[in-house]
Each structure stands twice: as structure tokens, then as C-alpha cells.
A and B are shown apart, each in its own frame.
Chain A
Amino acid sequence: MSQSQDIQFDGLYAHELTVSRSEQILLEDADLHLAPSTITYLYGENGAGKTSLMRCLAGLLQPEHGTVYWNNKPINHPESGFCSDLIFLAHSLSMKNELTIAENLAFYAQLRLKDRVTTTVLKTQISQVLIDLGIGGLERRMFAELSAGQQHKVALARLVLEPAKIWILDEPFVNLDHKTRGWLAAKTLEFKKQGGTVLFTSHHHIDELPVDQKVGVEHE
């Protein structure tokens, strides 16, 4: 651990990472560096361990061995600021069926911004992003009433509403119509331009999104 701290890696850096799931080793002693202003495409077959690797990088899954650093500090270190810098979008959309779209989005934004944002500002921002996503005017609908594609769009709206420095996105392009794919690709490129780090998985090649780095996870 002391060796790796001598070398400086900005962004997310995983050192000698060993990840396992159900006692099966998915990844052994892997080093991975996601620098600021880069987009990384993570590919691999179903069940190869893409999601496990992402959960591990996000700090949800404890690695068997190795450490993940965020700006040269371990991610679980309070000073790394990783939890306020990260947006992790998983397969599960993490929205409550009992709340409206606006309530769901406002909750996450307020949790991240620690109430530094006023409700009115947030409300306008939410209406705007919903319009951009083609589901304008649905703020007061219950999340459960939306179609699967619309629900997915709501989850993506978080990327615009919450300030972050790293996005880890598990299959963000799945279930999306052509227009929304374009929107997401544009937002991702914009985020990269502002110095953001992006890691995403996808089963198909995304034409709209040029990637800087490709990482593959394979079965043994």
C-alpha cells in the first residue's frame, strides 16, 4: 500500500484488485486507472463480473484484496470525498414507487447537496431536464405509473441534477430510444470536458460516444 501511495494517480485508481463473487474469483490482482477527463468502456460477457467490478470500484462490494483510491486516498477514507463525487447508476433504478418523479429526484439532489439548494431552483431544474428527456410535465406522476423506458430516463436525470466528478454507469444505454441515447452521449461528453471521469458498460458498441479506454473482463 505504501508503494502505491508514492506514485500519484489522479482520478480513480484500483491497485492489485481481487474481486470475487460467490467464492468464485472474477478478477485477480488487477490494476486499473480511470483518469479525469476520460471515458472508459467496460466490456465482457454476461456473468463475467462487470457489475461486481463496478460495485467494487464504487465501494459497495469489499474486494478480497487490494485497494481503490480516489485522488490518491482510499475511497472509504472520509477525506477522499468519494461519496459526494460519485454517481453510481445500477440496474436497479433506486427510485421509490410511492413517490412522484420530482420527489424522487429532489430527494437525491438534496441528499447530495446537503440542502444547499432551494426547492424552487431544484424544481425548475427538474422540469427542464424532464423536458430535455422527452418526459416533460410528468413531475407529479408516481414513479410506478411510468413505462420501463420512462423510468430509466428518470434515473438518468440524476446525472444532470447532481454535481459529481465520477460517473459509474451500469448499462446506461439499455432500453433507451435513439433520441435519449444521443442526449446521454452528449451529456457524457460534456461531463468529460469538465474534467469528469466516466466508466460505463454496454453490450453494444455506442456509435455516439467515442471512448478513450477499453477494459475487458473475461472468464477464466
Chain B
Amino acid sequence: MILTLLKRELKVARRNWIGLAIPLLFFIIVVSLFPFAVSPEAPVLQQLAPGVIWVAALLAMLLSLEQFYRSDYQDGSLEQLLLMSSPTSVAISKILAHWLLTGLPLVVLSPLLGVLMQINHGVEHSAHTWVLMLSLVLGTPTLCLLGAVGMSLTLAASRNGLLVSILIIPLYVPVLIFGASTVTASLENMRYNGELAILGAFLLIAIVFAPFASGRALKISVG
């Protein structure tokens, strides 16, 4: 059942790719402006890189939340989905599709932006890039899961973009802290296992609770 829902999500998204490209473009543009605005010096950029890339990724995710359940809510298909399948499986398929369409592209684009921010300056290998990708792989799904809860709670409010941001950003901050500090630790040649483990723990907690919470909230928003 989740597979049927997921296939539909991906099909709709493929026909509507411009909406998906906007958060990614935003991500690229924000990061690529830093070398112009701050300094093109490699050491400076390298020091800023973890924070800048992570903040940009977080904002891009926040930007993409707007289209999470909205169109399904407006055309009435969300109602039908809730009637025909369990709210939790609706939420799971939505979250999965959302991550595949926004989180994953962010992860894939991040090495490029790492190069732009001179993340591997002074080292021969590209270990820092891998750490950056790994931190995003663990962090962005958590952002998706938390965002889903925020979106489903505020669906019935007509202009909910700002409301979701206010509601969700406090929950995003811990992910941001540990995501960026994973990369910083790697840049300073320190161990970063601890930070990664905490990111993983956030993800596991969110996987357990968020789909259920989001499903419940959807039921309330539709009713």
C-alpha cells in the first residue's frame, strides 16, 4: 500500500519538477554567494563551510515543506487517502517521497558546494566531503520527519508557512548543531563519531514517533 502511494507521489513530482527545483536552487545560490560576500580565502571559507552548508540545507528543507501536504489537502485527495488507508502509512509514504525528492538531492549536491567552500583545503584526500555527506544523510531525514509533523498540524490554517517555521525551527536547531559540529570536528581532525551517533539517535527517535504523530495530526486537520 505504501508502495502505491509512493509511486503516485513520485509521478506527481516528476510532472511538477519546477516546484522541487526551487529549494535546491536556493541551496546552491545561498552557499555560492558566500565566497563573494565574505572572502575567497580558502582557510576562511573552510572554517565557515560546515555552518553555511548546514544552515542553507536547513532553510532549503524549510522552504520545501510548503508543498508537503498542501496540494493533497486542497484538492481533497488527502481526505480520500485517509479514508482508504491508515493515516500513518499516508504519512510514511509522504515523508519518504519528500526525502527522496528534496533531502537526497541536497546530499548529492553537497560535495559540489563543499568544493566551492574549500572544505578539503590543506588535505590530500576528500575525507571531509564524505563526513559532510554522511551528516546530511543522517540529518535531512530527521528534518523531513519533523517538518511533516509541523505541516500536518497547521494544514487547516490558511497561511501556515510562517507558523510552521516558528513551530519547527526550535526542533531543527539540535539537528543543525550536531550536523554542523560533525563536520567541524572532522575539519579539526578530531573524532566525530559522537556527533554522528547523536544525529543517528535523533533520526531513530523521529522515525518512531513522527509518522504516527503526523498521521494523527492529519486526521485532526481534515476533520
Contacts and interface: CB of A to CB of B under 8 A. Distances in A.
A186 to B, nearest CB: 24
Nearest to A89: B80
Contact of A88 (B71, B75, B77, B80): B80
Contact of B4 (A83, A97, A110): A110
B125 interface: no
Interface residues of B, number: 22
B76 A61 contact: no
Interface stretch (B82-90, B159-167, B187-195): B82-90
B76 A94 contact: yes
Nearest to B82: A60
Contact of A111 (B1, B12, B74): B1
B103 to A, nearest CB: 21
Contacts of A108: 80, 84
B84 A98 contact: no
B5 interface: yes
Contact of B75 (A62, A97, A103, A107): A97
A90 interface: yes
B218 to A, nearest CB: 11
User: Of A84, A94, A99, A114, which is in contact with the most chain B CB atoms at under 10 Å from its CB?
Assistant: A94
B160 to A, nearest CB: 19
B79 A94 contact: yes
Contact of B15 (A94, A98, A111, A115): A98
Nearest to A96: B12
Nearest to A93: B76
Contacts of A133: none
A91 B74 CA distance: 12
A84 B83 CA distance: 8
Interface in A88-125: 88, 90-99, 103, 107-108, 110-112, 114-115
Interface of B: 1, 4-5, 8, 11-12, 15-16, 71, 74-77, 79-85, 222-223
25 contacts: A59-B83, A60-B79, A60-B82, A60-B223, A62-B223, A86-B83, A88-B79, A88-B80, A88-B83, A92-B74, A94-B76, A94-B80, A95-B75, A95-B77, A96-B8, A96-B71, A98-B11, A99-B11, A99-B12, A103-B11, A107-B8, A111-B5, A111-B81, A111-B85, A115-B4
Interface of A: 55, 58-62, 83-84, 86, 88, 90-99, 103, 107-108, 110-112, 114-115
